[in-house]
Structure 1
Amino acid sequence: MYIRPVKRTDTNMLFSFFEQLDSETSFLLFEPGERNPSLERQEKRLEQILASEQERMWVVTDEQQIVGYLGLRRGNANRTRHAAVIALGLLQTYCGQGWGTRLLQQAEAWAREHRIRRLSLTVMVHNERALRLYLKQGFAIEGLQKDSLLVDGNYVNEVGMAKILD
């Protein structure tokens, strides 16, 4: 397994990965089948990412399957181009093996090269593993977002976190 930027030929693997990821955890934004309900939509979304100056995606893969990803979206306006929002997901069997740390390090290195000063994210308050990872990587809690998500009929709080790059 290794980390690399996503590429056009990843459409099928990415579609399968997101289907599995969204079905095995409720810690992420999308419910099963909601993210990209068709291979065609996944392909279009991947093309958007690859064509964008504001977005990047890295994957953890062995070229047979994708088991993790980190997506980054930089601000479009002059006043927000210094900031980026990130999202990270790993299949459950690959959690706790250091892939989250390595994905965050990859994104941070790219951000520094592209003069991004602020990385931010949100995480559900009960996702203790992710909270520990982000704190360990230097992210700080900035605030609580009450009832920000509705998961399985229950309102869930999220924590807003950020890391300022020097």
Structure 2
Amino acid sequence: MEQHIEKKYIPLSNYFQSTQQSTIQLSFTEIENILGQKLPNASYLNKSWWQKTKSPLKHFLAWTMNGYQVTAVQPGYYVTFHKPVQYENSGETTDDATAYPFIIRQAELDDARDIVLLGEQLSLKMFKYPYGQQHQKYSVQSLRKSIAEWKVANTSIMLLAIVRGEIGGYLFLEGYHSPYLKHRATLTIGLLDAHTNKGIGTRLMAGAEEWAIKNKLRRLELNVAKTNEAAIALFKKFDYVVEGECHDAILIDGHFENELIMSKTL
């Protein structure tokens, strides 16, 4: 499928592929969050841009090849997509996961502001999540610069979980430039509570590992609060092992917590 769709619209195609909802209404902002970049001006000005299904344009393949068609457009506000439902007398119940569409994609420059806002939401409860050497507060401008540098250097990557058209979580693999450390990367992950237990963390971890192997990394490492049982279970699922424990390493609300050092050799 991907070889027929313009590269820009592949994340949107993946989004439609991830759900079985018969009707989906997405705002222009949500669509741009899924894409990681702005829609063309024509999409804001003309309903016909959404309703065209002929070459040489190929953006429409993102939804038509997944069985959806555009049924309503309010330029600049929202687009409604509909997929005819085929009923089968299978006796099976509906899987809630199909009503919770999400995709995993690499962070783009236009995501910087939303990533910073997500970081502010997570910062109040960061002790619940792993955190890496980059534990710092990015500005929108500095994050845009960093995303551009990561793409060029190819030593680090930030993956985003786009849930229902919004950024609901992230995973950051931060690598090193030193030739003595280029085989290593530190992993940081954060996910909003509303999107936990949906398989998103697993998909983020799998995507990070796939990228790490492709880029010939050998060691992935992270720090995590010892009390964060859910995160530790996720890491052990991916064969991370505990290398050590730092006592009283984290100070949260006046209380010290121990920290585990975990790693995986690829």
User: Does 2:103 align with 1:2?
Assistant: yes
| Residue from 106, 116, 124 that aligns with 2:207 | 106
Secondary structure of residue in 2 paired with 1:26: helix
For residue 137 of structure 2, what is the aligned residue in structure 1? 35
CA contact (8 A) 1:56 1:72 kept: yes
Identify, as 1 or 2, the structure richer in strand.
1
Which runs of no fewer than 5 residues in structure 1 stay unpaired?
none
C-alpha distance in structure 2 between counterparts of 1:133 and 1:122, whole Å: 13
Change (3 A) 1:67 1:15: same
What TM-score comes out, normalization by structure 1 length? Answer: 0.86
Note the residue ranges of structure 2 that are not aligned, 5 or more in a row: 1-101
Query: More relative contact order in 1 or in 2 (CA 8 Å, sep 6+)?
Result: 1
- TM-fit CA distance, 1:111: 0.6
Distance, in Å, in 2 between the alignment partners of 1:40 and 1:78 is 28
Q: Does the 8 Å contact 1:119/1:164 carry over to 2? A: yes
Alignment map for 1:89-104 (pairs within 5 Å) = 89-104=190-205
Match of residue 172 from structure 2 = 71
Query: Within 5 A, what are the aligned runs for 1:146-165?
Result: 146-165=247-266
TM-score (norm 2): 0.55
Query: Using the alignment, how far apart are the partners of 2:232 and 2:154 within structure 1?
Result: 29
Structure number with bigger Rg:
2
CA distance in 2, matches of 1:82, 1:43: 25
Q: Is the aligned partner of 1:80 residue 2:157?
A: no
1:45–1:153 distance in 2 versus 1, CA, 3 Å: farther
Percent of residue pairs identical: 30
Letter aligned with residue 185 of structure 2: A
What's the C-alpha RMSD, in Å, of the aligned pairs?
A: 2.1
